[in-house]
Structure 1
Amino acid sequence: MQRQTWAPAEITPAGAGVAPSPAGLSHYLREAAQLGSLLVEHKALVFRGFAVEVGTLPQILDGLLPNRLAYVHGNSPRTKVGANVYTSTEFPSEFTISMHGELSYARAWPARLAFFCEVAPGSGGATPVVDAERWLHMLDPELRAAFAGGIRYSQNLPERHGLGKSWPDTYETTDRRQVEHYLVEAGAEWEWKADGGLRVHQLRPATVRHPVTGAEVWFNQADQWHPAGLGDEVAVALASLMTPDELPQSVSFADGTAIPGSYVHQIRDRGLAEAVDVPWQAGDLLLVDNVLIAHGRRPFTGARRVLVAMSG
């Protein structure tokens, strides 16, 4: 299979026929009645040259994401900085974040994501994006067949400090009844632990179909939840400290069978190899269809600050 030639569509003031300003972009978004169709067609859109800043971001997001969602049940370290606007991740800058569909392990996931570059990195730090339908077909038939029955995600969420995010941070509440209500709605299994922590299990599919195009796509985070996805040294260190049941997060096939590390490496490496990098300039926005496109992050130097918002 030859490497894909797909890339996100870039929208500039000149191409859109509007002023190079936030007001110009807002005007374009109001007039672009078919923005949804344009996003489905191109899968990802980059808005560049509109001089958007943090102070003007809310009005732009209102046009891109009319109904922004809270990052409930998210496992990535983030800080909430506005009305359902978050830092994209606070994972250490020297590491690559592999390709994934946002919240693919959750009961419901966002349909769209919008990323905004407040501060461009000194070097590196691109957001790689990959066509998730193509990613699926790049995987070996044996692997796809093994995942056909779905995936079992498991989490150990501490009450306060510990490895990984706490359950109050994860669910944005300290009310156990609210958490249990969410878990019932999610069809999850859970138990409150004696130390105040929470253990959660969820069964999810490995692939889904896009609601408009019908395309089947690779849509899970098995490689990110599996110790093999952390690298050999980290995996060995974790194994020496705790049992699989004690890991902050882990994953298996739906029937509880272990997922081979070789599968995890294939998923991770082929997704990253096929990805197209979106480099950042301050003021850039990237809008993606969260089912058609998986995203990640390249390592970087400097003070990179990218914000993210989501909608259903």
Structure 2
Amino acid sequence: MGKLQDCPFQQGKIAQQKVIDENGLLFPMVLLPQEVRDEGNTLESFLHTIESNREWINDHLKKVGALLFRGFPLKSASDFNTVMEAFGWDENPYLGAASRTRVVGRVFTANEAPLEQPIKFHHEMAMFEDFPTKLAFYCEIAPPDGGQTAILLSHKITERMGEKYPEIVSKLEKEGLIYSAICPAEDDPNNFVRGWQTLYNTKDKEEAERKAIDSGLKMSKVSWDGNKMIFQLEPIASIRTVDEDKKAWFNLLPFGGPEHPPLIGDGSVIPKEVVELCLQIVEEEAIEVKWEVGDVVVLDNRFVMHARRPSKPPRRILASFCK
């Protein structure tokens, strides 16, 4: 461990960290309290350090993509909410369909899908134009086994996919992807998404359609199969240029898997072997963060993907979304 230049944090280590540039920057960057004595490591001192070093934090988040704050005395969702306010970032409204609940202020539960189910790699709200540029997680209860949050630099996927399938990558960047989704009427505890009646706070299909169209998703078609709502979206950007030098793999291709990939924007099918290579690269590039109580992980959602590994209960991770 050592002091980071011009910043009152100690730098820590976790397993699987990767060196990402010639200056030795690590992904993720682990930041520890400068004061190791209990009386010096308070929530108030942490908030003061954040507020006094916002420019440094923003700069290094932009460089590295992921900051893990560990060893600070956060005890509750309210503490986490206070920390998020200290960063100075505006809240980004949550528009997604994942099953989650607002806890306090700008803090939500993370996806409430059963813990034994993995959540595959994705950018938060990748299908929306108004996606959060920053995403933060807080560990209130660390799982006894498993439950790591895995992260990766998504422009590394673009680089490696481009080496093998340059024409496909060029097409994805130009044409985007067409997503389809089926939304049940009622919430299903074994499903990753909420039912449309909960999502749009209505049981009226016409009202649900209007709210879906106004949600920020670019719908090309909304149809019904009984009480199931079926979305088809207009082509959505699948590779986004970030800070002029990163082409982020900003899509849900790793989420759907080879059996249910989206279509390329011109209507053509993505070959199964392309999706399989993408999934292989994703796992090779992934870093797993093993949670400790009080951890806060901040991600640059523009070029960092995240996923959830299966775990045994209890596990309680909270989330906050920022512009």
Task: Compute the TM-score of the two structures, normalised by the length of structure 1.
Answer: 0.81
- The separation in 2 between residues aligned to 1:146 and 1:266, in whole angstroms, is 17
In proportion to residue count, which structure has more helix? 1
Task: Provide the residue aligned with 2:94 in structure 1.
Answer: 71
- The separation in 1 between residues aligned to 2:125 and 2:305, in whole angstroms, is 11
Aligned positions of 1:168-207 closer than 5 A: 168-171=197-200, 176=208, 179-180=211-212, 182-183=214-215, 185-193=216-224, 195-202=226-233, 203-207=235-239
- The separation in 2 between residues aligned to 1:251 and 1:216, in whole angstroms, is 20
Task: Provide the residue aligned with 1:236 in structure 2.
Answer: none
Contact 1:151 1:222 in 2 (8 A): no
Task: Provide the residue aligned with 1:10 in structure 2.
Answer: 30
The letter for the 1-side match of 2:142 is: A
Pair 1:285–1:147, CA change in 2 (3 A): same
Contact 2:182 2:230 in 1 (8 A): yes
Contact 1:19 1:25 in 2 (8 A): no
Contact 1:121 1:303 in 2 (8 A): yes
The one of 31, 48, 64 equivalent to 2:52 is 31
Task: Provide the residue aligned with 1:208 in structure 2.
Answer: 240
Q: Deviations over 1:270-293 (max 9, x none)?
A: 112211111110000000100121
Q: Deviations over 1:145-177 (max 9, x none)?
A: 453321101122233356652224445677547
- The separation in 2 between residues aligned to 1:302 and 1:65, in whole angstroms, is 33
Q: Deviations over 1:115-171 (max 9, x none)?
A: 000000102222111111112112222442453321101122233356652224445
Task: Provide the residue aligned with 1:154 in structure 2.
Answer: 180
Contact 1:119 1:304 in 2 (8 A): yes
Contact 2:181 2:232 in 1 (8 A): yes
Pair 1:20–1:207, CA change in 2 (3 A): same
Runs of 4 or more above 6 Å deviation: 15-18
**What runs of 5+ residues in structure 1 fail to find an aligned partner?**
230-249
Q: CA RMSD in A?
A: 2.8
Contact 1:47 1:285 in 2 (8 A): yes
Contact 1:98 1:272 in 2 (8 A): no
The one of 266, 278, 288 equivalent to 1:255 is 266
The one of 124, 134, 137 equivalent to 1:102 is 124
- The separation in 2 between residues aligned to 1:21 and 1:213, in whole angstroms, is 39
Task: Provide the residue aligned with 1:137 in structure 2.
Answer: 159
Is it true that 1:289 corresponds to 2:300 in the alignment? yes
Task: Provide the residue aligned with 1:114 in structure 2.
Answer: 136
Higher relative contact order (CA 8 A, sep 6+): 1
The one of 255, 274, 291 equivalent to 2:285 is 274
Task: Compute the TM-score of the two structures, normalised by the length of structure 2.
Answer: 0.78
Pair 1:227–1:265, CA change in 2 (3 A): closer
- The separation in 2 between residues aligned to 1:180 and 1:298, in whole angstroms, is 30
Q: Report the count of equivalent residues.
A: 287
Task: Provide the residue aligned with 1:237 in structure 2.
Answer: none
Task: Provide the residue aligned with 1:239 in structure 2.
Answer: none
